Amino acid sequence: MKILHTSDWHLGRTLYGRKRYEEFEAFLAWLTETIREREIDALLVAGDVFDTSTPSNRAQELYYRFLCRVVASHCRHVVVIAGNHDSPSFLNAPKELLKALNVHVVGNASDCLEDEVLVLRNAQDAPELIVCAVPYLRDRDIRTAEAGESVEDKERKLTDGIRAHYAAVTALAEQKRAEFGGDIPVVGMGHLFTAGGQTVDGDGVRELYVGSLAHVTAQSFPASFDYLALGHLHIPQMVSSTETMRYSGSPLPMGFGEAKQQKSVVLVDFYPQRNADKADARDPCKTPRGMGVPPMKHGQDARATPARKGDCKGLDNRPKAHISLIDAPMFQKLERVKGEWDDIERRILELSATDASSWLEVVYEGEEVIGDLRERLETATADTQIEILRVKNNRIIDRVLGRLHTEETLDDLTVNDVFERCLAAHNVPDEQRPELLRTYQEAVASLDEDDAL
């Protein structure tokens, strides 16, 4: 069985005021073709389908048109969970209609665990995959607030709540697997931040929980998952160097900080155990002690590494997961150009010579104060397909330290930055600021978690 794991599409997202619908449309067309060419059986979308809880009509059109194309393909199942950017009510609204098309949507945590444990069946109505489709767990889903509790108490409750929720859904999945003979793969899904996760500046990844990122470790997830498909972090990466616990990453660079990343989707191929040796000789369960498994590269198959020591025991009849990455094309070239003026001008000339359609962020770092930087850039990019979406003049910033300047916009600041500047502008005493900031963060978090519909 072939599964494709993707996440963090953020349909409708803009970049410094530029709409990106053409990029999203191109990606979804490429994904549809990839599903067809690779004969994918199940598609897993691990949250943040949309960038906001109230997506535009065009973003909705792209989403539903894509689902229609996938349903008409070889793909038998689609599972979509909500991320922290998504509205649970909006995603759930057509849930019953989509279910008739084998598109399963889980917008929010439910008191009924059956809603999150999906048994997917093949054309002969035999169970072929169990998915623990855990959506983004909001604070109120996993923690009961108590008066007077400390930040440490909140953090402990959050991580304990996440761990307990996964344990409960997995116990139900294991029960179902036993009923079906014990050889059906169980795949987990989630949208959260794990310990050691990599991010980059400007990627738009929000802090999920007040006072803590609630970093959960690999040990927080049940060992019985044959694969764990995660969303939220935009850099493709493993969790604790475990091949079968992965973030697929965003398919498009969400900011200039991601411009040089190779974006991808994850192909998970479950081979029956009896064919595993033929499919891939590099079984870590049989690797002699002292011989390592070579690191996986993009597009290269790799044998699934056990989540923890001993995972290979007692799983002889269960299909094994083989992981490979499928590189996503670059649909719109982004580049951050930085340095002295001569360096910037040289790079713009190189890009214009290739006749490439590029969006640039220009960061001037020279010693010379250039007051007409924008005018120079407009001249340098005239009659080219280059668009400069953002200009940052670090020399001017240094000279106007401590205040907003003409080149700085709200895109440069987080909500916490704005609040801290307000505290400074009103001369709030330093000793009062931490508690005020924490209260403000709780208010912002509650707004983020309110369902728009």
pLDDT at 58 over 60: yes
**225 plus 305 within the same structural domain:** yes
Mean pLDDT of the 239-251 span: 94
Token output for 450: 């309110």
Alpha helical stretches, state H, 121-238: 139-142, 151-179
Q: Quick check: 304 pLDDT over 80?
A: no
Say how far apart CA 274 and CA 8 lie, in whole Å.
Answer: 35
> Among all chains, which residue has been given the structure tokens 């660079």?
253
C-alpha 16/C-alpha 389 separation (Å) is 6
Note the pLDDT tens digit of each residue in 358-405: 999 999 988 888 878 899 999 999 989 999 999 988 766 555 444 444
Is the pLDDT reported for residue 295 higher than 50?
no
How far apart are alpha carbons 358 and 348 in whole angstroms?
10
Other Cβ atoms less than 10 A from the Cβ of 429: the count is 7
Between 431 and 309, the more confident residue is: 431
CATH of the domain at 422: 3.30.160.720
Tell me what percent of the residues of the chain surpass a pLDDT of 90. 57
For position 221, what pLDDT does the model report?
A: 93
Both 396 and 315 in one domain: the answer is no
327, 344, 378 - which closes a domain: 327
Dist. CA 345–CA 364, nearest whole Å: 11
- Among 301, 327, 353, where does a domain finish? 327
Tokens linked to 247: 């973030």
Distance between CA atoms of residues 221 and 240, nearest Å: 12
In angstroms, the first-to-last Cα distance of the chain is 37
Residue 317 is predicted with a pLDDT of: 67
- Supply the CATH number for residue 95's domain: 3.60.21.10
Q: How far apart are CA 378 and CA 344, in angstroms?
A: 12
Kindly report whether the global pTM for this prediction surpasses the value 0.85.
no
CA distance 299 to 313: 29
3-state secondary structure of 450: coil
> For residue 293, what pLDDT is reported?
34
Q: Which of 286, 308, 327 is the last residue of a domain?
A: 327
Mean pLDDT (whole number) for 191-219: 67
Provide the domain count of the chain: 2
Q: Give the domain range for residue 102.
A: 2-327
Please write the tens of the pLDDT for every residue from 121-137: 998 999 999 999 999 99
Q: Is the dihedral of CA 96, 97, 98, 99 positive or negative?
A: positive
Output 321 or 211, whichever has higher pLDDT. Answer: 321
